[in-house]
Amino acid sequence: MIVLEKRPEPSRGWSLATPVVAVVATMIFGGIVFGLLGTNPVAAIATIFWEPLFGEFAFYYRPQLLVKGAPLVLIAIGLSLGFRAGIWNIGAEGQYIVGALSGAAIGLAFYPAEGWYIFPLMVAGGALGGWAWAMIPGLLKVRFGTNEILVSLMLVYVAEQLLASMSLGLLKNPEGFGFPGSRNLQQYPSAHNAELIAGTGMHWGVATAMIAVILAYVLLNRHMLGYQIRLTGEAPRAARFAGVRPGRLILFCLGVSGALAGLAGLFEVSGPAGQVSIDFNVGYGFTAIIVAFLGRLHPVGILLAGLLMALTYIGGEIAQSSLGLPASAIQVFQGMLLFFLLALDVLTNYRIRLVQRERS
């Protein structure tokens, strides 16, 4: 029979090869699904993976990869710290919303004044909003021992209602003829998170995501706190003997992930999205959890995973409009990709061996 044998060290070769194998496997199985739906599989796969990167209009899609990938990477980096320490914040979607709301509220409060200080204040407000929202499960866990998975998830739904209330009430555009949604921050220069270099997709959110990747890498590899995080995740009891204060670590991890999710929300609302509206959130907070695991909780891995997810989103949209594939086929395709990436990861840490075993 087949058994898995744990490798003493994760295999470097496999850790590089598995993503490639997974993508190829997805192409084969996804191609079969597309074929069953009556679409030319080769054209569909080429559209999803090739078009955005090297197609005729790649000059437009490449920057869009950054725009779509940056919030995913930013949120996933924050989450990965907690996940490594065994602290499960799955409510990043809520922190993203609250960060966007509080940051946008600050900007809108200044309207129509112009000033260099407005955008930095909004950034601070966004981070603070996300941080505060994450502190609720954090403090409840530290103080009462409540389960942070559940509390943070519940707070997503609370945040969604808050968002609806704000876009219909307090933050509604007074010149919007009663329609829901705030003023468009893209038309308010002091509050607009514009492209830093036009046409590149680089806005402050992308820059922040890059910085977050670097800082997380440094933190995890060069800093005492990073060591404590890793130790807590791998051996909680040993960590306690090593002097890790679990309460502070919980608050730190939840706080950082909340603040980064809040920042992602703020950069999105003040830049690409432009306004607070009822359906402002599009699930980045949940997708980021997948991105964090696809990247194996490693900062560089997360960066690549975020870009890969962005690629399938953008390529999927192109496939929809140019080949007439339904959105659900793209979702199935993405699901397959995730399954293969997750499943094949086993080869990195385990060796497959065939053994003869006698039944006792």
* Contacts to other proteins from residues 127-156, by CB under 8 A: 140, 144-147, 149-151, 153-155
Asked if 339 interacts with other proteins (CB under 8 A), we say yes
DSSP secondary structure string, 241-301? HTT--HHHHHHHHHHHHHHHHHHHHHHHHHTTS-S--TT---SHHHHHHHHHHHTTT-HHH
Give the footprint of other proteins on residues 39-58 (CB under 8 A).
Answer: 56-57
Q: Per-residue x/- marks for other proteins, 198-237, CB under 8 A?
A: xx--------------------------------------
- Distance CA(320)–CA(15), nearest Å, equals 32
C-beta separation of 11 from 352 below 8 A? no
- Distance CA(57)–CA(55), nearest Å, equals 6
Q: Give backbone dihedrals phi and psi of 307, rounded to 5 degrees, phi first.
A: -70, -35
Tokens found for residue 142: 């530290």
Residue selected from 107, 272, 299, 306 as contacting other proteins according to rule CB under 8 A: 272
Give the footprint of other proteins on residues 107-126 (CB under 8 A).
Answer: none
Q: Which stretch binds other proteins (CB under 8 A): 110-118, 124-132, 164-172, 206-214?
A: 164-172
- Distance CA(175)–CA(78), nearest Å, equals 37
Cα angle 224, 225, 229; round to 5: 120
Q: Which stretch binds other proteins (CB under 8 A): 16-24, 234-242, 249-257, 265-273?
A: 265-273
State the nearest-atom distance from the C-beta of 153 to other proteins, in Å.
Answer: 6
Exposure b/e, 197-211, CB count within 10 A at least 16 = b: eeeebbbbbbebbbe
Give the footprint of other proteins on residues 88-107 (CB under 8 A).
Answer: 88, 90
Nearest to 311 by CA among 97, 3, 54, 8: 54
State the nearest-atom distance from the C-beta of 106 to other proteins, in Å.
Answer: 20
State the nearest-atom distance from the C-beta of 107 to other proteins, in Å.
Answer: 16
State the nearest-atom distance from the C-beta of 345 to other proteins, in Å.
Answer: 6
Asked if 357 interacts with other proteins (CB under 8 A), we say no
Residue selected from 69, 78, 107, 181 as contacting other proteins according to rule CB under 8 A: 181
